[in-house]
Structure 1
């Protein structure tokens, strides 16, 4: 503990010293005399041009979403080749830089407007609560972000930025399609006076889904009141989310071949209700410094039946995230300082089923800092550090019958160089620590009487090129992990009458080497084309499985796409997504056969006239059969077959 605190203190001292030594001779004038930074991304916890952040960042804006014809956020993220998907037909989880389905929800951080959607237990974030009409853009940061975000920002961060309109206007959206799917959305905003405005949105969707006994129904409403006057901003927001879904269960290999749409369950389901309350306040302190903060509370309750056992899981999470931001203009460029804290108190309680009596109260305190210091007009360096302390008051009738207080801490430091020799090119290198803490479900189903934090380090180098007609992003990376938290089906049961074989363990060390390439070209005035390719060589680097591939991680994934304006009103979108061969999840020794590779073809036709937009989206056009989640003990979940959806939207 003391050593880690000391290391964190030293990292802060390094930031402050560098800034202090640089600032007195270099500061020419403060922000009031300079043009503001171009606001492109906020994944760096402050508004910056994406090329000023030494990371691989992709922005999917509202025009990209509209062109794709996608009708759900899941569909949008499935179409990105750098994001691997695992779906047990109960909601997809998304992995960046090489994690299987069981690890993805805890190693990929998902945010909405900077607020965490990840839970304090292993349940996946409920992204189906976010209708597309609310989304302004999606920022995907590939790579570790341990300093800025801490716990769970291991493989990457997906930050969903929502709209906050202030002027009068709105939209109405209707959609229907395969498997009796239906959706209705509406939103409206207006000004109360010069300073105050409000925004309201609601949606409802339902579908019988591809498989039998897999129907779903989701609804959400949100209201936001916001104030802006000069250097002062404030907002208050409340939202309600209700989701009901039937679970079809896994299939055997033979059942998958016979009929992938069949169900192995007639009673399992999940029903989740969530209420979220948010307060945000930001204030310029002077010409250089600003204060920003958010207080949010999430109250969630899930009940249902799984494997024939009924249970309820209630969660509460209170978070406070204050930060100080400084921006100075110097002779060599902008000097940016960031000091922040993430404070949270979470509670999780399980009632009924085989987890009956399990509970956890989690307290997390984190401090972090980061500085971007210009050395010349072309070259910046970035340095930062974070220290996190977490306490779990955990109880489980089988493994922690008397209760236990588990206290862990972790730290992260980063260093990067960002070089922009001209307006078209950017080169960067970066090294950053990452970590994640075990969740209550993982701790309670382990043999270790308390799992250690997972730790690691990421190294990355990249080149970005952009011109009026094309852009190219290339990055090379290495991700090394120690004490990786995984479920090992060959491990000893946590207790004799445990429901499943295996246990959660701190596994052998692992390494991921990768290459990312993303290219986009405006070939003709009316034709845009693009291609993405992602390669991951992942393996265990210690223990009995040393040299073996990490399961459920495809070495090769890719995507090609095009958007063609047939007329001023009519647009055609086409994409093909490829996923290479991979071992089944749990096959750490690589003893089984790999799943076959597959490619999915999707297309959309969009027609816009005045304030109207009509779209026809066709997914899996060739009706390719594939496995969306598969496990070495013989459980398979089929991917969705051919489907279509027709939508109509009116904006006013």
Structure 2
């Protein structure tokens, strides 16, 4: 069934675009693709001819987060793209460190838990912004069906080939939960044996080992990644010395019997044990942010969580002919989470199924896909599920300097609550996404684009069901609805061999933004909210040895209308107006250094929807430096120091409820290499 208002308004537009595209395709496709290939060849020549001392790539990179491959310059959406060379030059310790310090993404620990960070893009807030961002590892979602943030720490940075951050778009391909955008992480199996070992203060030790081997018609790859640390917070209880502990592994084998087929089997496994201290008052925080937290209702000054995650996936790619490609994928995830002190255990069972058909012919590309997701969470009293079924299509057509894109997705979700007492609850809902994009190539190195995206977020199971204390049972949460966003973006890109400039302005109109109301202890909706701002990305190759990067986001997020009048015309909490990331990379022969600074302006505490708390979150500052020296081609030593000036950073939940974060000086020294 087509949604009300869609059939007349959008379906006719799709028909017009498709008809015009096919009528002009034969006349323009050959010329367009010839120019595209010539541009790619020129870029390849420039890359080869670069001085080896260059520290960042400024090439016109191919992006693929929206399903159809396109050069970065020709994309009709707001993209940030980072290659393996960008990642290597950042000298980050792990993936979370890189995203936090070298991109526009706002990341914070979850009440002190560093392994499952909270994520915000475009002002959906640190409290629950992670629910508005779809995070993909090689095309597989790692988001949860409840309020447990994604396990980003499970992926070693050394295995990452490319990171694409798609802001304000992506909902046609990825559906539910991509209202703010998508973080698409692509890994890179490599041959040989690679290692990284580092030590740091607070008894920190990290190791990564990986290796790959190829044979006739097959390639195998593995990694083992571990991390442990005492952490900088004090906990006087009798607990293990390694309070923050993680180990992850991957085994991957790909078969390619011929040039048209490849089949991949992959298994990943992660285990995390994390003791993290409770909150402090403002006086305690200012006196010593490392001190022990305040006791909770049960008398504990800390939390202890165990997470186990195991995923097995299968991918088949088949090139039917020169125009058609088909992809089949399936993954199964078993996840376990236990808050040990409260004996709260959850077991998750996720199954993902995806079928995609790609067609490429000159300047005309389209993708059609269907997907299915089955998610169950089981605990001591019930099993709750959130299952979805979706189909989508995305079209892209190039007419000389013009590029048009159009996409549509229809999604349906089914909820089921199955308690041990047999009082089942079930419900379903459906919604749709739309994307309209336009790109005009002004010259060989500059372009203008405009984009409109309609997206939706179905409530997760923690918000959709609530506990009725009068009946002593769970019921449907009648205070909550599906969130709808309409995002408008215009932008300008300029990419040359010496600089990359991207600037865009965006406006997001939100209906039924989902949030937790701390005053009434309910999950509900804000009737109407808005987010608007400017994104700026500027990278400059200053000379053969020095490059600089600047990322700046100006952002205003406010409520427009709400039944609770005290919440109208207020700044949304957990959102900084100014976000700045600066870095300088210097490389000469075998020596390199990287200096960076991150700044986020003050913001309202995460629970302060009335903007009435006495305490606001202080500005966030951190200056970091890394040094390295390549002793020989395949071996280097490195050192890194975070928060050089010992800024006291923290996350304010409410008055006198502060979780210290990156508020001490930390250093690391290590070696890395391959053979």
TM-score with structure 2 setting the length: 0.88
Structure 2 gap segments, 5+ residues each: 41-60, 236-241, 294-299, 468-475
> Could you report, residue by residue, the CA deviation over 1:148-188 in whole angstroms, capped at 9, with x for unpaired residues?
211111112111110133xx412021111011110111111
Q: 1:465 aligns with which of 494, 498, 506?
A: 494
Q: Is 1:216 matched up with 2:244?
A: yes
Q: How does 1:121-520 map to 2 (within 5 A)?
A: 121-165=146-190, 168-193=191-216, 195-213=217-235, 215-228=243-256, 229-264=258-293, 265-266=300-301, 268-305=303-340, 308-329=341-362, 334-351=363-380, 357-374=381-398, 376-395=399-418, 402-445=423-466, 448-449=477-478, 451-491=480-520, 502-520=521-539
> Could you report, residue by residue, the CA deviation over 1:20-62 in whole angstroms, capped at 9, with x for unpaired residues?
442255226789x967796722211243322232112111222
Match of 2:142 in 1: 117
Q: Kindly tell me: are residues 292 and 46 of structure 1, through their superposed partners in 2, closer, same or farther at Cα, counting changes over 3 Å?
A: farther
Distance in structure 2 (CA, Å) of the matches to 1:403 and 1:426: 54
What is the SS of the residue equivalent to 2:442?
Answer: coil
Q: 1:67 aligns with which of 89, 94, 97?
A: 89
> Could you report, residue by residue, the CA deviation over 1:126-145 in whole angstroms, capped at 9, with x for unpaired residues?
01111112111211112232
What is the SS of the residue equivalent to 2:88?
Answer: helix
Match of 1:521 in 2: 540
CA contact (8 A) 2:346 2:377 kept: yes
Distance in structure 1 (CA, Å) of the matches to 2:414 and 2:479: 12
Distance in structure 1 (CA, Å) of the matches to 2:511 and 2:571: 16
CA contact (8 A) 2:387 2:415 kept: yes
What is the SS of the residue equivalent to 2:463?
Answer: helix
Q: More displaced, 9-18 or 215-224?
A: 9-18
CA contact (8 A) 2:463 2:477 kept: no
Q: How does 1:487-636 map to 2 (within 5 A)?
A: 487-491=516-520, 502-543=521-562, 544=565, 545-565=567-587, 567-592=588-613, 593-608=615-630, 609-627=632-650, 629-632=651-654, 634-636=656-658
Superposition deviation, residue 349 in structure 1: 1.3
What is the SS of the residue equivalent to 2:321?
Answer: coil
Distance in structure 2 (CA, Å) of the matches to 1:212 and 1:277: 38
Superposition deviation, residue 196 in structure 1: 1.0
CA contact (8 A) 2:466 2:477 kept: no
What is the SS of the residue equivalent to 2:85?
Answer: helix
Match of 2:18 in 1: 19
User: Cα RMSD over matched residues?
Assistant: 2.3
Distance in structure 2 (CA, Å) of the matches to 1:478 and 1:129: 33
> Could you report, residue by residue, the CA deviation over 1:298-337 in whole angstroms, capped at 9, with x for unpaired residues?
11111223xx4111110011011111111111xxxx1111
Superposition deviation, residue 14 in structure 1: 4.6
Paired residues, number: 622
Distance in structure 1 (CA, Å) of the matches to 2:103 and 2:319: 40
Q: Kindly tell me: are residues 280 and 17 of structure 1, through their superposed partners in 2, closer, same or farther at Cα, counting changes over 3 Å?
A: farther
Q: Is 1:93 matched up with 2:118?
A: yes
CA contact (8 A) 1:295 1:318 kept: yes
Match of 2:71 in 1: 49
Distance in structure 1 (CA, Å) of the matches to 2:558 and 2:422: 37
Structure 1 gap segments, 5+ residues each: 352-356, 492-501
Q: Kindly tell me: are residues 505 and 47 of structure 1, through their superposed partners in 2, closer, same or farther at Cα, counting changes over 3 Å?
A: same
Distance in structure 2 (CA, Å) of the matches to 1:47 and 1:429: 18
Distance in structure 2 (CA, Å) of the matches to 1:382 and 1:634: 49
Superposition deviation, residue 395 in structure 1: 4.2
Distance in structure 1 (CA, Å) of the matches to 2:319 and 2:542: 44
Distance in structure 2 (CA, Å) of the matches to 1:11 and 1:482: 20
CA contact (8 A) 2:329 2:354 kept: yes
